[in-house]
Amino acid sequence: MSESSGDKILRMFNILLLFVIAMTCLAPVLNVLSISLSGKLAVESGKVLLWPIDWNLQSYSLLFNGTRIARALWNGIEMTVGGVVFSMVFTICAAYPLSKSYFFGRRTYTLLIIFTMVFSGGLIPTYLTLKSLGLINTYAAIWLPGLISTYNMLIMRSYFESISMEIEDAARIDGCNEWRLLQKIILPLSMPVIATLILFYGVHYWNSFMSVLIYISSTDKYTITVLVQQMIQSQSLLTETVQNDMQTGDIVPQGILSAGIIVLILPMVAVYPFLQKYFVKGVMLGSVKG
């Protein structure tokens, strides 16, 4: 079936519109990346736009040698991986029983959980509770208050409900109990929603800023998000940490800050391609034959 002229015009318009939107999102990242890879004179003169000038890696070298970025990067990875693992385990354990129509009190529990989306204990009671538990200055203080996202849990519950009961009945006839059914049947079929929620939780924990400032008192446990923000906010802090190298005149603070921003966003950019394929993968197709 051939396209009409109107369809072709509409398709070209959509392609052009999406290209403009993509470049609008990509251009700032390319500008920051170019600044981090450019020489001092090019950066100071404002000539760097979307392509590096006088390529070099001095900004990254100075960033890792003159600041605590390596330690902060490891802290961010540790907090993110731990938070994602705990959140996914508890989200699955909460969503699975609530997806079953035979679960006693299902509606009541669901309403109580949804209630937390509107009302919460507040910052001060939460802080005092965590302090009384001895969790201040530990990553557990960041993990526990948001261990289960109600929104994410409802998404997973809805996906579990969409799985055909015929599959579960067949597994039970073969002798599967609930735990084995969840582990061997439900979770493999739920990889698209699991991958999506892993990304949601990962971005949440990786970008955690205020919670780290509130609950973490030791600077040695600061994550890369907090460190980069402090470098951007306080030029004096950045100058002090790299004072000896700054006297050589080879580097400008803007290049170091740009390098820090690139290091901050790089892990999420690197992880996304491995999860993206699950978003559109139709694992349920053909799973039930009439």
Domain boundaries along the sequence of the chain: 1-56, 57-279
Backbone φ and ψ for 118, nearest 5 degrees, come out as -100, -40
Stretches where the chain sits below pLDDT 70 are 1-2, 234-251, 278-290
What is the pLDDT at residue 119?
A: 82
What pLDDT was estimated at residue 241?
56
CATH of 57-279, one of 3.20.20.70, 3.20.20.10, 3.40.50.300, 1.10.3720.10: 1.10.3720.10
Tokens representing residue 131 in the block = 């302090």
pLDDT at 280: 56
pLDDT at 88: 94
Q: Where are the beta strands (DSSP E) in the chain?
A: none
pTM given for the model = 0.81
- Residue 207 backbone dihedrals phi, psi, to 5 degrees: -90, 5
